[in-house]
Amino acid sequence: MDTARTAAISPNDLNARLGRADAPLLLDVRRTEPFAASAWLLPGARHCPREEVAALAQREPPREAVVYCVYGHNVSADAVRTLRAAGWDARALEGGIEGGEPGVDAEADIARWRAAPVPRIRKRADLGVTGEAPSRWITRARPKIDRIACPWLVRRFIDPRAQFFYVPTGQVFAQAQQLQAVAYDIPGAPIEHAWERCSFDALLAAFELRSPALDTLATIVRGADTDRTKIAPPCAGLLAVSLGYSQLHAADDHAMLAAMMPVYDALYAWCCDAQGETHRWSAHEPQKAAT
């Protein structure tokens, strides 16, 4: 049996893994020309042309990975075979980034893959995000909400390899130029507040990243960051936790970011699957009289 053909994952199953701390590495193995001609990546994907997969498999420790090409055919299968031979837990995305090839794949498969597609992000070379190298971002020191939410969004959905820098407000733009980093959440930056919308909203718009769960999370961030905690029930909780962690990590902004990443992971999980769940404690209710 050809394991490269059986080791596959559906778009629907991959969607359930996106945005999590334990999400698989996404490898875009499209050949150079189709990759360059496309304006899109899958969230957080790293470009590794088919001819470079073997070198990557030997250079990095084996891990779980999902590979995709244009339509999910031979290029993906070859990459899976190479990675698995090196000890990786690799699977191919069914249908590739395009959701199957009409006239080649079965119509029923194409319909299934495209009914619940993996969301895509737009390449933004001006923001350092093309899938080819780690991006770099810089903002004001002493982050609390938006300047933590944005790195979470970048690392979970845009570029897991991204680097972040926190510097005094007056140094942001000079350091951005020196470090070749993208400034965010400061007036005049490429990513900043727009009226009542936060930099988190601006990032979603910049990469055309859309999902109901992320839209809900954006509302929570917006309410906490702009002191409008009534626009969503979790806003007040996020504000309190953010201010508390800011006190605990007042001298180390990166420690603050590390501490808050699981908080945003949990909020995102709630946005995805737990909004309808409640927790009820009834011990305080009067007991019914005996009959």
pLDDT tens-digit series, residues 114-158:
999 999 999 999 999 999 999 999 999 999 999 999 999 999 999
CA of residue 164 relative to chain centroid, distance: 15
Query: pTM higher than 0.85, yes or no?
Result: yes
Same domain as 250, residue 131: yes
Q: How confident is the model at residue 284 (pLDDT cuts 50, 70, 90)?
A: low
Q: Nearest to residue 46, comparing CAs of 22, 32, 29, 33?
A: 29
Same domain as 146, residue 77: no
Residue 249 lies in a domain: yes
Same domain as 202, residue 136: yes
Q: How confident is the model at residue 279 (pLDDT cuts 50, 70, 90)?
A: confident
Look at residue 108 and tell me whether its pLDDT is greater than 70: yes
pLDDT confidence of residue 166: 98
Question: What are the tokens at 170?
Answer: 């007056």
pLDDT tens-digit series, residues 207-220:
999 999 999 999 99
pLDDT confidence of residue 244: 98
Residue 247 CB contacts under 8 Å (≥ 6 apart), including other chains: none
Residue 289 lies in a domain: no
Residue type at 205 in one-letter notation: A
Same domain as 135, residue 69: no
Residue 290 lies in a domain: no
pLDDT tens-digit series, residues 36-74:
999 999 999 999 999 999 999 999 999 999 999 999 999
Query: Which of 119, 150, 182 is where one domain is finished?
Result: 119
- Beta strand segments in 37-191, E: 40-41, 46-47, 64-68, 89-93, 121-122, 136-140, 163-167, 182-183
pLDDT confidence of residue 3: 46
Same domain as 136, residue 213: yes
- Domain containing residue 255: 127-274
Number of domain units in the chain:
2
Same domain as 139, residue 241: yes
pLDDT confidence of residue 290: 61
Same domain as 75, residue 15: yes
Same domain as 147, residue 60: no
* 150-159, 263-272, 277-286, range with the lowest pLDDT: 277-286
Residue 281 lies in a domain: no
CATH number for the domain spanning 28: value is 3.40.250.10
Look at residue 5 and tell me whether its pLDDT is greater than 60: no
| Backbone angles phi and psi of 197, in degrees to 5 | -85, 145
pLDDT confidence of residue 277: 83
Residue 71 lies in a domain: yes
Query: What is the pLDDT averaged over residues 104-120?
Result: 96
Residue 100 lies in a domain: yes
The percent of residues in the chain predicted with pLDDT above 70, rounded, is: 95
Q: Over the chain, what is the mean pLDDT?
A: 95
Same domain as 133, residue 72: no
| Backbone angles phi and psi of 55, in degrees to 5 | -65, -40
Same domain as 139, residue 28: no
Same domain as 261, residue 135: yes
Residue 282 lies in a domain: no
Burial of 138 (0-12, 13-18, 19+ CB in 10 A): buried
Look at residue 4 and tell me whether its pLDDT is greater than 60: no
Hey, which residues does 138 pair with through a beta bridge?
Answer: 165, 183
Q: How confident is the model at residue 285 (pLDDT cuts 50, 70, 90)?
A: low
Query: Which of 77, 98, 119 is where one domain is finished?
Result: 119
Question: What are the tokens at 92?
Answer: 């191919």
pLDDT tens-digit series, residues 229-264:
999 999 999 999 999 999 999 999 999 999 999 999
Residue 205 lies in a domain: yes
Same domain as 262, residue 135: yes
